[in-house]
């Protein structure tokens, strides 16, 4: 189903109610589709696979086991004037 930005602004609960039931929505702005709203897969989030899916490019890096230490190391190397 295609909805407009105006409908998204004025009727968000109705639109997200339909999305919760499984319907996908395409959002149009000035007559062109610019976004898609899809239902969130709850099973995926409960299995903690969401982290791997979103940040999978970093999973093989051994130097990033502890993120705070990694960031501290990067900041330490910078010299601020």
Share of the chain above pLDDT 90, in %: 46
d(CA 50, CA 2): 27
- CATH 3.40.1620.10: does it fit domain 1-39? yes
> Which has the closest alpha carbon to 25: 8, 12, 38, 34?
38
For the chain, give the mean pLDDT: 79
Cβ-contact 40, 9 below 8 angstroms: no
The pLDDT score that the predictor gives to residue 24 is: 93
49 near 57, Cβ under 8 Å?
no
**pTM of the predicted model as reported, rounded to 2 decimal places:** 0.50
Question: Which pLDDT value is given to residue 70?
Answer: 76
Q: Domain residues of the chain, as ranges?
A: 1-39, 41-81
The string of pLDDT tens digits covering residues 27-43 is 999 999 999 999 987 55
């Amino acid at each position: 189903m295609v909805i407009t930005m105006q409908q998204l602004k004025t009727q968000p609960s109705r639109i997200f109610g339909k999305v919760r039931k499984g319907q996908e929505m395409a959002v149009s702005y000035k007559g062109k589709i610019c976004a898609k709203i899809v239902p969130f897969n709850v099973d995926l989030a409960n299995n903690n696979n969401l982290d791997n899916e979103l940040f999978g490019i970093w999973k093989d890096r051994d130097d990033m086991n502890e993120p705070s230490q990694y960031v501290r190391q990067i900041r330490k190397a910078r010299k601020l004037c």
